[in-house]
Amino acid sequence: AKAAGRNTYQLFAQAMHAQNAERLDLEREMRNGVQAQQFVAYYQPKVNADGELLCCEALVRWQHPALGVLSPARFLPLAEETGLIVAIGRQVLLAACHDCLRWRQSGYPDMRVAVNVSSRQFSHDDLAATVQSCLDDSGLPPDALELEITESLLLDNLDAAIRLLQALRALGVKISLDDFGTGYSSLSYLQKLPIDTLKIDRSFIQHIDSRSSDAAITRAIITLAHGLGVRVVAEGVETAGQCAVLVEMQCDLMQGFWFSRPVPAQTLAAMLGQRLGG
Ligand code: C2E
Ligand code: CA
Ligand code: CA
Ligand code: CA
């Protein structure tokens, strides 16, 4: 029994070792990838009830030299843990500003772009300075840029978070509350938050045309948001049926595979001026 125990321990130690080695490899590759600008922005359209493409969300992808295009789920947790997300996030933000300016100059002067901000970036002390420098470097007007933040960023210190949001808004950028409905969002704190838009989480949209409770919640959120002067975006719209329900509820913008998957910047450029969905 003793021998078996030792064996088990050795296997366990080996597995741990392999896991750590893999982690270190990934971290080293990620550092190199930041240097080599392998982290790029893909874009997913946000459209109005007429299918007009008015805005898009930048979603980071890692163009890994050996593994191909990697999704955030593969690398964001470690990027967040190691703090590399700050450098990656800045590259995505700058790319989004440059790309959006290009689209605006190519005949779509009202085009806007949204960029995700994670907790590590949010608590990094110079987020406002980073945003300002990306706007300056690119020449993008501030009101063309929207920052998507999640409620979880606000929980630690709500007052400090509100001050930062106010500082960002003072630059002229818009603030969007992402994944709304998944956290402990009390509707009462919505009025405290300096936000321009809220994004209803995909989990409510998924069954919106079959589950009456999800439809009721979504309708209530839209009504409440509009009452507070906040615009509403629905994420994860995958079917014509979901789209129709949301249009009927007067949802301002919709985003999801029904209109387009996230695509590279040049592909997005080719979609400008088109009507998406249906
Ligand atoms: P998110 O901000 O909630 O972004 C929406 C995610 O849902 C994206 O996954 C998008 O591709 C996916 N999606 C869009 N439409 C549909 C749909 O109709 N059906 C389904 N099933 N999924 C849909 P993605 O690109 O893998 O990104 C995952 C998460 O990674 C994002 O969630 C966001 O939290 C984070 N993320 C992405 N890019 C960045 C970035 O540049 N910086 C930071 N800090 N986080 C990022
Ligand atoms: Ca988002
Ligand atoms: Ca989201
Ligand atoms: Ca979501």
Interface ipTM: 0.98
Distance CA 87, CA 89 (A): 5
Q: Whose CA is nearest to atom 28 of ligand 1?
A: 72
Which atom belonging to ligand 1 lies closest to the Cα atom of 120?
44
- Look at the pTM and tell me if it is higher than 0.90: yes
Residues in the ligand 1 pocket, defined by CB under 6 Å: 44, 58-60, 71-73, 76, 85, 89, 92, 116-118, 148, 178-179, 235-238, 256-257, 262
pLDDT value of position 194: 94
DSSP assignment, residue 98? H
C-alpha to C-alpha distances, 59 to 39, 44, 89, 175, 241, nearest whole angstrom: 10, 8, 10, 17, 25
117: CA distance to ligand 2 center in Å?
8
The alpha carbon of 10 and the centre of ligand 4 are apart by a number of angstroms equal to 41
| Ligand 1 pocket: which of 30, 43, 59 to mutate (most atoms within 8 A of CB) | 59
- Residue with CA closest to ligand 1 atom 42: 116
Decide: 218 and 249 in contact? Cβ < 8 Å. yes
Spans in the chain with pLDDT lower than 70? 1-4, 185-186
- Give CA–CA dist 78/69, Å, rounded: 17
- What pLDDT sits at residue 277? 93
Distances (CA, A) of 43 to 12, 132, 266, 269: 42, 21, 10, 10
Total residues found in the chain within this entry: 278
CA of 137 to the centre of ligand 4 (A): 30
Residues 171-206: pLDDT tens digits? 999 999 999 988 776 677 788 899 999 999 999 999
